[in-house]
Structure 1
């Protein structure tokens, strides 16, 4: 299958991206295979250690090709054993782990805890671009802001990530 990847052993930016042929992945237990309909590149992703090294360990470079892109929307093509929350044909969006290969490919492996059903009122393109912004907003409200059930919040002047 085709993917956008990095074959170079050097660390760099978008100049290292190229079309590569890789083997179509097969989901293991606890994973799903996603047919990618839309994908985004998280800002600055190519500068993060997780992109280049196994679990951020600068002594262990990731194997090549590295497949970037971690904001995704697509259709579940196959489910591994132990996956019960989703089934083949479900349309989902999400934010796979940054220290694993991304979703700039025809198919990608994701785990059920990193995806959600795509809202029907939002296109695949829109939902792929929504994943990181939605997580950031949720963390701001519930992790940092400690918003509790029954409380209300007024948001005025909302802006994007840039």
Structure 2
């Protein structure tokens, strides 16, 4: 049996850790400037904890906005909790990172989208697709690798 590097799961964890790091900074320092987040998550994830009426209203997935009013943001290694206002009704949300489908900060055109593999093999985990504001155009010619001899650096 040969061993392979599971780049998909490594990227999955790295992008979830990025979200945790951003939210931890916001927990400590608040949202800087015009930054704000649209976070879409799976409302049926087993570790999501939201009010029943929100699950009824948003079956399958829900997008929340963290911008002008949010309260008591608590960030952990497994997810985050925050109180948001829904029509003058504050509600506590507990969202694990694994339930997040998209994380977007439109103020800087940054976004992450986590695609679920629809394979029959259920051992496959989500593999993230990364969307960034500025991406190099694909029509530019790619440069060949340059091979440098270590002898040129010896004295």
Tell me the TM-score normalised to structure 2 length: 0.26
Structure with larger Rg: 2
From the two aligned structures, give the one with the greater strand fraction. Answer: 2
- Normalised TM-score (structure 1): 0.25
